[in-house]
Amino acid sequence: MPRVPQLGQLSAHAVGGPVKKQVPDKTELGRTRVLVVGDVMLDRYWFGAVERISPEAPVPVVRVTREEERLGGAANVALNVKSLGARATLLTVVGDDEPAHTLKRLLERDGIDTLLGSDPQLYTIVKLRVIGRSQQLIRIDFENQPDHEVLAEMLQDYETTLAEQDAVLFSDYGKGGLEHIPRMIELARRSGKPVLVDPKGSDYRRYAGASVITPNRAELAQVVGAWSSEAQLRERAQALRVELGLEALLLTRSEEGMTLFDARGDTSVPAQAREVFDVTGAGDTVIATMAAMIACGLSPREAMPLANRAGSIVVGKFGTASVSYDELFE
C-alpha cells in the first residue's frame, strides 16, 4: 500500500503529477471558509442489551441503556469540515419541531456557523438506529417529502454569504432541499468559487457547471449505466464530465479506492488497508476533505489522496463520525 504523504508535501506518484501546492497547515485551514448547503438530519442511536426474543414476534427485545444524538446529512458534512480545522457555514431549512431544536443545539456546541430557515410544514428528518450487541438491528426514518421548495426564501442569504466563502459544497440527499441548485451553482461560479457536489438521483444535469462531483459506484451507474471494463468506465465518466462542464469527477469505489477523471485523463488511489467498522457517513467525510483542501488552493488531483485517507479513517469509527487534522496527518 502507498505511504501516506507527510505533512507539508504530497508525492508526485500520489497525485499523478508534479505538486504545485503544499498541504495547508492548521493556520491556513483556520482561515478557510466552506459553505455547506443541503439536506440535514438528526441521527439518533439507541444502544441496549439483547437478552431474549420477544414472545409477541420472532424479534429481539432490546433493553435500551444509552442514547446518543449526532449531526447527520449536510450537518455531518459541515462537522467534518470543521473537524479538519476549516470554518464551516451551514445553510439549510429545518422544521419547527423538537429535532430541529436539538440540531441547532448540536451545531452551536460544535462551533458551526448557521443560516437556518424554519418551515413549519417540514418535518426535520430523524434517522433512529437501534443497536444491540454492537450491531444495528433496525433503522427507523422520520420524514416527510416537502410539497414546495424549502430553500427558495433563502436565496438572498446564500448570495450574501457567497462573498465570504472560499468554496461551496452541496450535500444532496434527495430530500427536496436543493431544487434551486442550478441557480445556486451559477451564482457561485459567477463569484469565482469552486463548487463541489455529493450527487443524488439519475439526473445530473442539475449539477452542470460544478467544479467536482463525487458519486459512488452505484450512483454513477444509475446515470451512465453499468460498465463492463475500466475502458468503458473511463469513456462514460469522461463523456459525462464533458457534458456537464465539470473540472473533475471523483468516483468513490469502496474497497477499490478512488478514481478521478479530469481533462488530463484519470488517476486512481487504492483503498488503504484498514478494518471497516461502519461506512455510515464516509461519503460526507470524503467530500468535506476535498472541499476544505480545494478551498485552500489544492487541485482536485492533489486533494484526492487526502480525501481517500480521511475516508479510510472514518470507516473505522462507529456511526456518523468525523476526522481531525491530526488524525489525517499523523
Alpha carbon of 59 to those of 50, 53, 138: distances in Å? 10, 6, 11
DSSP string covering 54-109, please?
Answer: -SSSSSEEEEEEEEEEEEEEHHHHHHHHHHTT-EEEEEEEE-SSHHHHHHHHHHHH
| Cell 459506484 belongs to residue | 217
Cβ 142 vs Cβ 126: under 8 Å: yes
Q: Which helix (H) or strand (E) holds 290?
A: helix 282-295
Residues 35, 281: Cα–Cα separation, whole Å: 18
Three-state DSSP class for 311? helix
With a CB cutoff of 8 Å and minimum separation 6, the contacts of 160 are none
**Of the listed 39, 113, 284, 326, which one is catalytic?**
284
Cβ 319 vs Cβ 45: under 8 Å: yes
Residues 268, 8: Cα–Cα separation, whole Å: 21
- Judge whether 284 counts as a catalytic residue: yes
| Cell 479513517 belongs to residue | 313
At how many degrees (to 10) do helices 181-190 and 155-162 cross? 20
Residues 128, 71: Cα–Cα separation, whole Å: 12
Cβ 141 vs Cβ 130: under 8 Å: no
Three-state DSSP class for 236? helix
Cβ 115 vs Cβ 157: under 8 Å: yes
| CA-angle at 293, arms to 292 and 299, nearest 5° | 135
Catalytic residues: 284
